[in-house]
Amino acid sequence: MYSMSSAAKQVESAAMNQKTFLGLSHNPFTPPREGFFTGADRKTHLDHLRHLSQWSRRILVVSGPFGIGKSSLFRELSSSLEPNTKAARLSGTVVTTQREVLVGMLQGFGVAAQTNAHTADLSKLIATHVNEQDGMGRICMVMVDDAHLLDTQALEQLMSLVSASALRLLLFTETSKISTLNDIAKDQALEWFEIRITGFPKAEIRNYLEWRFRQAQYRGRLPFTDEQLNKIVQRSDGNPSVIDSIANRLLTDMESGETGKKVSGFPMTHAALAVMLVVLMGLVYLFVQQPQETSIDVVETSVPAEESSPFVDQAADTPQLDLTETAAVNPPEEAETQLETVDQQPQLAEQPQPAEPPVEVVQADDPAPEPETAADTEVPPVVEAVAETETETETETEPEPEPAPVNVIPVVESNPLPDGVFKSASWILQQDPNRFTLQLLSLSTAARAEAFMNRQADTSDFAWYQMQRDNRTLYVIIYGVFSSREAAQSAAAGFTGEMASIKPWVRPLNLVQDTVRSNRQGSAR
């Protein structure tokens, strides 16, 4: 669908641009990100894991959300173990089944075995080798990155080996797997210890950004403003992966000059709104301060050109109130901001009338903003439907005028996507849970999800499902089914056109399927 040669040209062009920007040798916030950041207790955790002889328990679990830095800790530990340690290093993205794990351990320990040997024989061979090494004063350990991708039988086999030998087990996993590990350990009467990795505090986020820039041979001050730094702190929750994603976007904007455009236009809009608000408050104040001897009637009229205010739109004879709502959704995580623009202000009549003025009330829904997630994706803004409310007020010469009718145009919600046209939740649940997919967008209406997929040249690789978030329905679009995380990342690197502007989130399909099932159960209730 997408040309790899075109993607390679884009990467090469971006690399050339970054090389000249700020004197950077490369963009430090795009994969692959090398090095190990020692701040935010990361060095403390590393020292604890490195000294296996001091472990009080032979099973350790390093847990935390996606992108928090577990794999970085895994790589750094792999190259800095104690000299008397033999380690078998496994990855849940490569091995998942019981047999694959046992074969990987034998290869890591340098033990030969028959290719057609039974799993029970492989397990005994590993236990015998570990006990022999322990008798010679050597420690045997198996390290598993992305352990949440392992089958339950594989986890049970690993803990059985710990029980039957002197093996030490170190698992790097997401927090969703903790309950399963706890149940297996209880069944086998094993004790284990958990090290939970958390996000960086605010002070460490600045240090982390400076460390990343130094990796790209940058020696100046941090090029981000305090406002941009606060934005990174608030939206990332200290997650290094999200910090890299936001910083990469800011760096790209600075390179292309988009940052100046955004900063220059945004305050002017707010200044105009502030002036209009002050004018409105002044009119209300004058109205309240009028003598109470005679009631005042508020009449909406068009103002002659020579007496018009610069804040009143002269294009219409009757003032109108336009409410425009703009929502921006983002991953992990989707935040909404609402901007109300008043185009016209009602004017006070020159001559007060003896009758009571009609009172008209216009209400606009104001949904509470949702937190933006430590995801690794960037989602383009989604524009909600515009609801217009028109009011007309007529001034009668009769002493007791009746209030003019209020015409309200309701907001019409989008219908769900048509069944059978695009792959949906049923298709997602049929896929292999051990594979991966790319989460592209989370949109607030079905119409926008359908329009996005219809714009693509080939819709066969797209699928969608509904998700409930704070009493709102979101329409999530995913792309493709891949055998590994690396294959998904490679496909994302080849995106062009509209897809190239999206920063997709690589997700295990089993987690996506769990979300689909939970939302289906919620709908059934």
pLDDT at 270: 64
Q: Cβ(92)–Cβ(150) under 8 Å?
A: yes
Which CATH architecture fits 425-524?
2-Layer Sandwich (3.30)
Residue type, 11: V
What are the tens digits of pLDDT across the range 364-385? 344 444 444 434 444 444 433 3
Strands (E), 261-334: 321-323, 325-328
Q: What are the φ and ψ backbone dihedral angles of 467, each rounded to 5 degrees?
A: -140, 135
pLDDT at 6: 52
Q: Cβ(444)–Cβ(384) under 8 Å?
A: yes
Q: Is 488 helix (H, G, I), strand (E, B) or coil?
A: helix
Lowest mean pLDDT among 232-241, 394-403, 448-457: 394-403
Q: What is the DSSP letter of 385?
A: P
In the chain, list all ranges with CATH 3.40.50.300: 42-196
Kindly state the average pLDDT of the residues 323-327: 36
Q: Is 447 left (phi over 0), alpha (psi -120 to 50) or beta?
A: alpha
Q: Is the predicted pLDDT of residue 330 greater than 60, yes or no?
A: no
Report the share of the chain in percent with pLDDT over 70: 66
What are the tens digits of pLDDT across the range 391-424? 333 444 444 455 444 443 333 334 466 655 788 9
Distant-in-sequence, close-in-space partners of 109: CB < 8 Å, separation ≥ 6: 86, 88, 126, 129, 130, 140
State the chain's mean pLDDT as an integer: 74
Q: In which band, very low, low, confident or very high, does the pLDDT at 477 lie, cut at 50, 70 and 90? A: very high
Q: Is the predicted pLDDT of residue 430 greater than 80, yes or no?
A: yes
Lowest mean pLDDT among 51-60, 71-80, 221-230, 284-293: 284-293
What pTM, to 2 d.p., does this model score? 0.48
Return the bridge partners of 274, or none.
Answer: none
* Angle 141-142-146 from CA coordinates, rounded to 5°: 145
Element (H, E) at 152: helix 152-164
In the chain, list all ranges with CATH 3.30.70.1070: 425-524
pLDDT at 500: 85
Q: For the CA atoms of the chain, what is the radius of gyration? A: 31
Q: What does the block give as tokens for 4?
A: 């790899």
Q: What is the DSSP letter of 23?
A: T
Residue type, 121: D
Residues 505, 482: Cα–Cα separation, whole Å: 13
Distant-in-sequence, close-in-space partners of 320: CB < 8 Å, separation ≥ 6: 343, 344, 388, 390, 391
Q: Does domain 42-196 have CATH number 3.40.50.2000?
A: no
Identity of the highest mean pLDDT range in 124-133, 264-273, 406-415: 124-133
Instruction: Put the strands of the sheet holding 85-91 in their side by side order.
Output: 85-91, 139-145, 168-173, 59-63, 193-196
Lowest mean pLDDT among 138-147, 200-209, 258-267: 258-267
What are the tens digits of pLDDT across the range 160-205? 999 999 999 999 999 888 999 999 999 989 999 999 999 999 889 9
Tell me how far apart the terminal alpha carbons of the chain are, to the nearest angstrom.
40
pLDDT at 1: 39
Residues 40, 221: Cα–Cα separation, whole Å: 21
Q: In which band, very low, low, confident or very high, does the pLDDT at 311 lie, cut at 50, 70 and 90? A: very low
Q: What are the φ and ψ backbone dihedral angles of 332, each rounded to 5 degrees?
A: 105, -45
Residues 103, 229: Cα–Cα separation, whole Å: 47
